């Protein structure tokens, strides 16, 4: 590869948070930059003032930081670069590749209505294309600048993942480049900025493929070198429909709040449309940077399955917990400590974790599995059989507070009373934890301590 590799994501601050699809493109862009010793850039495409969402940018950046995707440059803001877009729009008009359009909103609405009636796709009819506009009109009237798409021929580009893609020019709309409020449209902004920011690879979702011929024309008309294009397949719900808010949570913040680890989420996203060359399912970001190959991305719809992600997250949690290295072993307890806003003691979390880690697929589940260690259950799943509980109580009052001794004492007491030890353990569990299922009960009591255990026998 010649020259520097520079990639980017260009989110618009129009959503609640970083969309999981954007996190996916961010990951791929980041990996491609890093594997070539290049730079990854963040550019905020904030030119659509009508869809602007307050605070969106800050939340997008916070989610990127949480994921550990660090950018080398940016965030740049298109709203701070307006004179640049104007300059290139004017240049295109001068060169005859764009034109002023004075059509009113009413005329455009009427035109669209007629096209609809004729079952034609909506597009500009070229009304202002032929008129040579006088300077005075440009000064005094509202206008937009439109791209003058050639009437004949085709526009072709090569997509690194999909090969050559060709569009017929006569089907491409005379796209607005500069709006009457002086802001560029996405199409002008993206091309000017990708060029000026020396972006070598434009890696984005496949929903932008149909926009690309307009961009290619702009590069040609401005005499600029095309970047490498790679359009990633869109993530799908398990039923293959486009990932949507209704069927799957789409904001990265949700995954954070649910107690997913960022490294597990990135690992899962990495497997979406690409397979590790050795068939590995679990691998680190560093490893991905070493072995990822953009050209090997599949175009078949990748399914984003939360259950699979939960499995992967659980695998990460257990691998930390069973690590031979102490710092790795402390990762989970530290994360839980933060996750519960430090309201539980770190020492107790550490003691309790081995009892619940096998069942945990997310940090959040720690509270439902182990909450009883930190607070008495507010209500019991069902009433306790007091007779059976009394057997446990008697046994526990006269034995050592170790799970082996407790087990022996309860078994003996049950036998003497003529009840099943299994039933006594169950009543003990319900009385102390409030639930009928949970971590090993006697090991739990050992941690909970004698005083607290007995206090729950009411
Ligand atoms: N602003 C576009 C977006 O919201 C960027 C698309 C692109 O990467 O070119 O995703």
Name the domain boundary from 178, 194, 221: 178
Number of domains in the chain: 3
Which among 245, 346, 408, 435 is annotated as catalytic?
A: 245
Site of tokens 């009427």: 110
Are residues 424 and 346 located together in one domain of the fold?
Answer: no
Ligand 1 centre and the CA of 25: distance in Å? 10
- How high does pLDDT run on average in the chain? 95
Domain-embedded: residue 324? yes
Are residues 358 and 402 located together in one domain of the fold?
Answer: no
Give the span between the Cα atoms of 10 and 33, in whole angstroms: 15
Structural domain of residue 121, as residue ranges?
Answer: 83-178
Are residues 357 and 392 located together in one domain of the fold?
Answer: no
Q: Mean pLDDT across the stretch 242-249?
A: 80
- What are the tens digits of pLDDT across the range 159-203? 999 999 999 999 999 999 999 999 999 999 999 999 999 999 999
Domain-embedded: residue 347? yes
CB burial readout 392-424, b (16+ within 10 A) else e? bbebbeebeeebebbbebbeebbeebebebeeb
Structural contact between residues 46 and 79, judged by C-beta atoms closer than 8 angstroms:
yes
Domain-embedded: residue 163? yes
Q: Which residues is 158 bridged to in the sheet? A: 164
- H/E/C letters for each residue in 129-187? CCCCCCHHHHHHCCCEEEECCCCCCEEEEEECCCEEEEEEHHHCCCCEEECCCCCECHH
Domain containing residue 103: CATH number: 3.90.800.10
Write down the pTM of the prediction.
0.93
Question: Residue 400 is encoded by which pair of tokens?
Answer: 């050592």
- What are the tens digits of pLDDT across the range 405-414? 999 999 999 9
State how far Cα 415 lies from the chain centre.
Answer: 56
Ligand 1 atom, smallest distance to 14 CA: 4
Neighbours of 437 (CB within 10 A): 10
Structural contact between residues 401 and 444, judged by C-beta atoms closer than 8 angstroms:
no
Are residues 391 and 332 located together in one domain of the fold?
Answer: no
pLDDT higher than 90, residue 62: yes
Are residues 398 and 442 located together in one domain of the fold?
Answer: yes
CA-wise closest residue to 394 among 445, 447, 454: 454
Domain-embedded: residue 302? no
Query: Whose Cα sits closest to atom 3 in ligand 1?
Result: 11
- What are the tens digits of pLDDT across the range 414-455? 999 999 999 999 999 999 999 999 999 999 999 999 999 999
Are residues 360 and 398 located together in one domain of the fold?
Answer: no
Site of tokens 């009113």: 104
Which of 15, 41, 208 for a ligand 1 pocket mutation test, highest count of atoms within 8 Å of Cβ? Answer: 208
Whether 42 is in the pocket of ligand 1, judged by its Cβ within 6 Å, is no
Give the H/E segment covering residue 243: none
Are residues 358 and 391 located together in one domain of the fold?
Answer: no
Whether 21 is in the pocket of ligand 1, judged by its Cβ within 6 Å, is no
Domain-embedded: residue 412? yes
pLDDT higher than 90, residue 246: no
Are residues 109 and 161 located together in one domain of the fold?
Answer: yes
Q: Mean pLDDT across the stretch 381-394?
A: 96
> Predicted confidence band at 83 (pLDDT cuts at 50, 70, 90)?
very high
Q: How far apart are the first and last CA of the chain?
A: 73
Are residues 88 and 167 located together in one domain of the fold?
Answer: yes
CA-wise closest residue to 145 among 169, 124, 118, 122: 124
Neighbours of 120 (CB within 10 A): 11
Whether 194 is in the pocket of ligand 1, judged by its Cβ within 6 Å, is no
pLDDT higher than 90, residue 305: yes
Query: Which of 93-107, 316-330, 359-373 is predicted with the least confidence, judged by mean pLDDT?
Result: 316-330
Question: Residue 198 is encoded by which pair of tokens?
Answer: 């020396």
Domain-embedded: residue 194? no
Which of 14, 190, 228 for a ligand 1 pocket mutation test, highest count of atoms within 8 Å of Cβ? Answer: 190
Name the domain boundary from 337, 370, 403: 370
Name the domain boundary from 150, 178, 206: 178
Domain-embedded: residue 16? no
Domain containing residue 413: CATH number: 1.10.10.350
Cα three-residue angle 144-145-147, rounded to 5 degrees: 140
Domain-embedded: residue 145? yes
Ligand 1 centre and the CA of 127: distance in Å? 29
Q: Any catalytic annotation for residue 245?
A: yes
Q: What is the DSSP string of 313-335?
A: HHHHHHHHHT-SSHHHHHHHHHH
């Amino acid at each position: 590869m010649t020259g520097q590799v520079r990639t980017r994501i260009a989110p618009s601050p129009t959503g609640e948070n970083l969309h999981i699809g954007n996190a996916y493109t961010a990951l791929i862009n980041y990996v491609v930059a890093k594997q070539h010793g290049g730079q990854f850039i963040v550019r905020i495409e904030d030119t659509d003032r009508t869809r602007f969402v307050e605070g969106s940018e800050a939340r997008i950046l916070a989610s990127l930081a949480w994921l550990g995707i660090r950018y080398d440059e940016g965030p740049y803001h298109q709203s701070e670069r307006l004179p640049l877009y104007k300059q290139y729009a004017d240049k295109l008009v001068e060169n005859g590749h764009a034109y002023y359009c004075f059509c009113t909103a009413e005329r455009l609405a009427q035109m669209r209505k007629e096209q609809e009636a004729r079952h034609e796709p909506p597009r500009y009819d070229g009304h202002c294309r032929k008129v040579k506009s006088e300077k005075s009109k440009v000064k005094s009237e509202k206008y937009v600048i439109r791209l003058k798409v050639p009437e004949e021929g085709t526009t072709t580009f090569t997509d690194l993942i999909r090969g050559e893609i060709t569009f017929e020019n006569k089907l491409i709309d005379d796209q607005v480049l500069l709006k009457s409020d002086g802001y560029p449209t996405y199409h002008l902004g993206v091309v000017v900025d990708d060029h000026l920011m020396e972006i070598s690879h434009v890696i984005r979702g496949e929903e932008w493929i149909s926009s690309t011929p307009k961009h290619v024309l702009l590069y040609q008309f401005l005499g600029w070198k095309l970047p490498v294009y790679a359009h990633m397949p869109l993530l799908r719900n398990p039923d293959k429909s486009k990932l949507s808010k209704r069927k799957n949570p789409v904001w990265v913040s949700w995954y954070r709040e649910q107690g997913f680890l960022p490294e597990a989420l990135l690992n899962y996203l990495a497997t979406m449309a690409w397979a590790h060359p050795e068939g590995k399912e679990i691998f680190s970001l560093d490893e991905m940077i070493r072995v990822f190959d953009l050209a090997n991305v599949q175009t078949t719809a990748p399914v984003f399955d939360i259950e699979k992600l939960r499995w992967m997250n659980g695998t990460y949690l257990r691998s930390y917990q069973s690590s031979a290295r102490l710092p790795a072993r402390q990762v989970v307890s530290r994360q839980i400590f933060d996750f519960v806003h430090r309201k539980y003691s770190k020492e107790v979390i550490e003691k309790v974790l081995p009892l619940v880690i096998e069942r945990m697929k997310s940090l959040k589940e720690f509270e439902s599995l182990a909450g009883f260690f930190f607070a008495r259950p507010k209500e019991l799943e069902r009433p306790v059989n007091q007779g059976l509980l009394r057997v446990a109580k008697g046994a526990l009052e006269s034995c050592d507070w170790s799970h082996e001794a407790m087990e022996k004492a309860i078994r003996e007491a049950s036998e003497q009373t003529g009840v099943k030890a299994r039933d006594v353990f169950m009543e003990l569990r319900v009385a102390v934890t409030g639930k009928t299922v949970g971590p090993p009960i006697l090991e739990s009591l050992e941690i909970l301590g004698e005083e607290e255990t007995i206090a729950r026998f009411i």
